[in-house]
Amino acid sequence: LRSPHRIASHRIASRARRRRLAMAMAMRAMSSSPPRPPLRMRMKAPRRHLSSPLHCFARGAPGARGRGSPGFARSTKPMVKSRRSSAVTAASASGVAETLAHVVGVCVVTGACVRSLPQILRIHKSRSAKGLSLGSFTWESIGLTLVLAYNVSREYPLSTYAECIALVIQDVIVACQIFYFRHGFAKSATPFALSAVGGVAMCATLFWWLPAQPFGAQALLSLNAAAGLIVNGSRLPQIVMNFKRGNTGELSWVTQALNVCGSIARIFTTLTLTQDILNLALQVTGLLLNGTLLAQCYRTIQMRRSGELVDDDVDAVVEEPKLA
């Protein structure tokens, strides 16, 4: 028989061994996996509140403040739905804006196809191109060709620049009309032929040769900046001529109104589709210049209605300013 002293010491040793064993197992578990939170923190909230970052405020959630307040339980799900609905609304609004921008771009292209038609018909009807700047239409056609080459190289949507094709064709027609009615067919044949050869060479360089070069992208970017200055600067000779004449002559106000509408539409499509800062700045500058021409046309119409402008004043010869 064991003495009571030995029995007590044996029990104490067993407790110590169990304590050491438990400690060793705990250390092994801590080294193999991250420590687990206390039992109170491991309690799961109801499933219906797990999708919300504010589930701790729901009724019945562990550790919730104001657990008995019915407002927390009712406001959790509506907040989740409102966030989801706001995200869906933002995405749908962005999609609607892009769709609207494409529709506006198509409308701009359609309007550009007939932009200079009133001007062409007016010159043909009056058999005169007085008051029109040849340099204005020539430089505009060159600048629009550079803009077209830049946008093609950047692979922008066709609806954002397709009007350049129609505008170049119409500018060439108006320039030919101006040169023909001022100098006759005999003196116009050679300049027409040289202009055609130069146009073909420029298009071949911009659309085929330059993009294939290592420096092509940077060169087209620089040319696009220069093109914007050329297109906007091409309005200046016409504006200066109108100031010197005191009227706009045979300049069509319908064409200028279409230019203003096209500039406004292009600002919207640029902001929505491409976010190109350079194109945006050029469109805003073009809007100001086109607005100036439209205001001059309106002034001329008012002068004709009031009798201040007679035919002799319209037919006055004014030297055409040159584009620097």
CA nearest neighbour of 156 among 49, 273, 264: 273
CA separation for the pair 137, 143 (Å, rounded): 10
Average the pLDDT over 73-81 and give the result: 50
Confidence of residue 128 (pLDDT cuts 50, 70, 90): confident
User: Quick one: average pLDDT of 68-91?
Assistant: 53
- Indicate the range of 64-78, 87-101, 103-117 predicted with least confidence: 64-78
Higher pLDDT, 247 or 320: 247
pTM flag (> 0.95): no
Give tens-digit pLDDT for 172-188.
999 999 989 988 887 88
Q: What pLDDT is stored for residue 219 in this prediction?
A: 92
**Which range has the worst mean pLDDT, 72-76, 138-142, 306-310?**
72-76
Lowest mean pLDDT of 81-85, 92-96, 103-107, 301-305, name the range.
81-85
What pLDDT does 182 receive?
A: 87
pLDDT 10s digits, 214-240: 998 899 989 988 888 888 888 999 999
As a whole number, mean pLDDT of residues 136-165 equals 89
Most confident region among 3-7, 21-25, 72-76, 304-308 by mean pLDDT: 304-308
Is it the case that residue 52 has pLDDT exceeding 50? no
Which residue would you say has higher pLDDT here, 168 or 15?
Answer: 168
- In tens, the pLDDT along 269-318 reads 888 877 888 778 888 998 999 999 999 999 999 998 888 876 544 444 44
What is the model's pLDDT at position 69?
A: 46
